[in-house]
Chains A and B, each alone.
Chain A
């Protein structure tokens, strides 16, 4: 297994395969189908200060090779998470990355502060959920100053490695990534879902009440890959790549482009075994290609 170990700044993972926030709950359900101990890391469903109801139905819409979602961060809230969900995850031999989402800078601070004393491995700061209101102008991760401020405060208050999760819905993602790096983030998670919509032809209405929803799945993989490329060019800290990863080849593409680790998102719905299959596939790949350490492959893209 050692050939697969990777470092995300100070965070050491036994392998680079994670499960993405929002697609894995708090691990309990999937534990019945796969061995969570095999995963490199589990990123929890984003936690908010108070329990969150989420958006009205419909919340899902299937597209060709993709899925639109508008869940709206329905979650149990910080207190229940700490009391009931986190202890469960701590039993496993995998890295636990807690994802947080706030409605304001102050909420991110309260979350980071409250989680300081808890036992887990890293904090993912979700400043890019497209399905909830951030600021009047858009998402936090569309504003470099707000991104800087939130990440800076999370770093100072949490005493844990901080990962900034960014949105692809921006002209130059590199600017935001740089701001997060400067703020002290140890890694950048690239990317959250793409803004998209669907129409009900019978009613001529948008399917989703918010009109906009987030697109994920194989349909966005080439776009997500390019976002990883752009972020990798902009920053020196590690990048965690995600967006439609369904198999070994997808994972390799992200790693070669520069992702030190990758996350499986909607793939978990399609086949809960995908993360495990990718881990096994990577083991065979490095053996067959006589690569001593998988990390040698990270960013080996020949773009000349």
Chain B
């Protein structure tokens, strides 16, 4: 973990209210692992007190890329940051995805697909096997990362809420169909997305007896494991820190 003022290399709107932010920092980029996040100070003053934790989408040489959605005051403020400005970043933080060889299915909902794209590229590089990726989006306009994932060799399947592209329905239904009907039995499932999606997916993975890792989102205080603010209930009854024990957990470790 490092703290640095990182130069904004590029920052632009991707689609609807999704943005891509590219930061420059060689040491952070070299340390970053899939599933880890950066904790970003979005304004210089203290009106908006806390940093915003955002997953790393991709590493390109010394560049760290992030894809985020404007959901509140923090991300609204971040969206105003311009290229060439410097922003204060702490990272890379947290416990990322555990890399496993074999057939993997990645399931991403909304911006959740951003951190999974980094995982897909890493799995491809490490094991020379591109995973299957299922992407859930509200509609085809909000669809993220699908072309880039296809480019590295992933089989990409899309589910949209309105049926404007791919499977008409939830990404978890698409997952169930693939595993149940087409007998696509993976060794591992990695998921990142809204809580209802993760809950349903974990239930399905238990049913099909597939190990599953989930990346969780939570409001954070310190972001480094000191304040106990961003907890999730563990299966042993204890509270685990999303920022340090996670954000990626084995589905068996946490009560969602």
Instruction: Determine whether the beta carbon of A29 is less than 8 Å from that of B219.
Output: no
Assuming the A-B contacts A53-B237, A54-B228, are A69 and B46 also in contact, with contact meaning beta carbons closer than 8 angstroms in the complex? no
Instruction: Determine whether the beta carbon of B41 is less than 8 Å from that of A71.
Output: no
Tell me the chain A residues, 36-90 only, with Cβ under 8 Å from chain B.
45, 53-54, 56-62, 64-67, 69, 71, 74
A271 vs chain B, min Cβ distance (A): 7
| Contact partner, B221, options A69, A218, A273, Cβ 8 Å | A69
CB of A30 within 8 Å of the partner chain: yes
Tell me the chain A residues, 12-26 only, with Cβ under 8 Å from chain B.
22-25
| In the complex, chain B residues whose CB is within 8 Å of the CB of A218 | 46, 49
A32: nearest residue on chain B (CB-CB)? Answer: B1
Assuming the A-B contacts A30-B226, A53-B237, A69-B229, are A58 and B219 also in contact, with contact meaning beta carbons closer than 8 angstroms in the complex? yes
CB of B238 within 8 Å of the partner chain: yes
B218: nearest residue on chain A (CB-CB)? Answer: A57
Instruction: Determine whether the beta carbon of A269 is less than 8 Å from that of B228.
Output: no
Task: State the main secondary structure of chain B at its contact with A.
Answer: loop
Q: How far is the CA of A266 from the CA of B238 in the complex (A)?
A: 24
CB of B157 within 8 Å of the partner chain: no
CB of B66 within 8 Å of the partner chain: no
| In the complex, chain B residues whose CB is within 8 Å of the CB of A269 | 49-51, 221-223, 227
Q: How far is the CA of A33 from the CA of B229 in the complex (A)?
A: 19
CB of A270 within 8 Å of the partner chain: yes
Instruction: Determine whether the beta carbon of B230 is less than 8 Å from that of A60.
Output: yes
CB of B95 within 8 Å of the partner chain: no
Residue from A24, A45, A62 with most neighbouring chain B CB atoms (10 Å): A62
Q: How far is the CA of A266 from the CA of B2 in the complex (A)?
A: 19
| In the complex, chain A residues whose CB is within 8 Å of the CB of B90 | 33, 272
| In the complex, chain A residues whose CB is within 8 Å of the CB of B239 | 53-54, 74
Instruction: Determine whether the beta carbon of A60 is less than 8 Å from that of B48.
Output: no
Residue from B50, B218, B227 with most neighbouring chain A CB atoms (10 Å): B227
Instruction: Determine whether the beta carbon of B231 is less than 8 Å from that of A59.
Output: yes
Instruction: Determine whether the beta carbon of B49 is less than 8 Å from that of A67.
Output: yes
| In the complex, chain B residues whose CB is within 8 Å of the CB of A65 | 46-47, 49
Q: How far is the CA of A270 from the CA of B238 in the complex (A)?
A: 27
| In the complex, chain B residues whose CB is within 8 Å of the CB of A64 | 47
Instruction: Determine whether the beta carbon of B1 is less than 8 Å from that of A25.
Output: no
Q: How far is the CA of A29 from the CA of B231 in the complex (A)?
A: 17
Interface string of B82-95 (1 = CB under 8 A from A): 00000010100000
| In the complex, chain A residues whose CB is within 8 Å of the CB of B3 | 33, 272-273
Q: How far is the CA of A62 from the CA of B41 in the complex (A)?
A: 14
CB of B225 within 8 Å of the partner chain: yes
Instruction: Determine whether the beta carbon of B49 is less than 8 Å from that of A62.
Output: yes
Instruction: Determine whether the beta carbon of A71 is less than 8 Å from that of B48.
Output: no
CB of B29 within 8 Å of the partner chain: no
B219: nearest residue on chain A (CB-CB)? Answer: A60
CB of A268 within 8 Å of the partner chain: yes
Instruction: Determine whether the beta carbon of B48 is less than 8 Å from that of A23.
Output: no
Instruction: Determine whether the beta carbon of A217 is less than 8 Å from that of B226.
Output: no
A157 vs chain B, min Cβ distance (A): 28
CB of A246 within 8 Å of the partner chain: yes
| Contact partner, A57, options B2, B41, B48, B232, Cβ 8 Å | B232
| Contact partner, A66, options B49, B88, B227, Cβ 8 Å | B49
Instruction: Determine whether the beta carbon of A71 is less than 8 Å from that of B227.
Output: yes
Instruction: Determine whether the beta carbon of B46 is less than 8 Å from that of A270.
Output: yes
CB of B224 within 8 Å of the partner chain: yes
Instruction: Determine whether the beta carbon of A29 is less than 8 Å from that of B224.
Output: yes
Which 7 pairs of residues, A with B, have the shortest CB-CB distance? Answer: A25-B226, A60-B229, A29-B224, A269-B222, A74-B228, A29-B226, A218-B46
A sample of 5 cross-chain residue pairs with beta-carbon separation below 8 angstroms, ordered by A number, consists of A33-B1, A60-B219, A62-B219, A269-B222, A271-B41
Knowing that A25-B222, A54-B239, A62-B48 are A-B contacts, what are 18 other residue pairs whose CB atoms are under 8 Å apart, sorted by A's residue number?
A22-B227, A23-B222, A29-B224, A30-B226, A32-B224, A33-B2, A53-B238, A53-B239, A57-B233, A59-B228, A59-B230, A60-B219, A60-B220, A60-B221, A60-B229, A60-B230, A218-B46, A270-B41
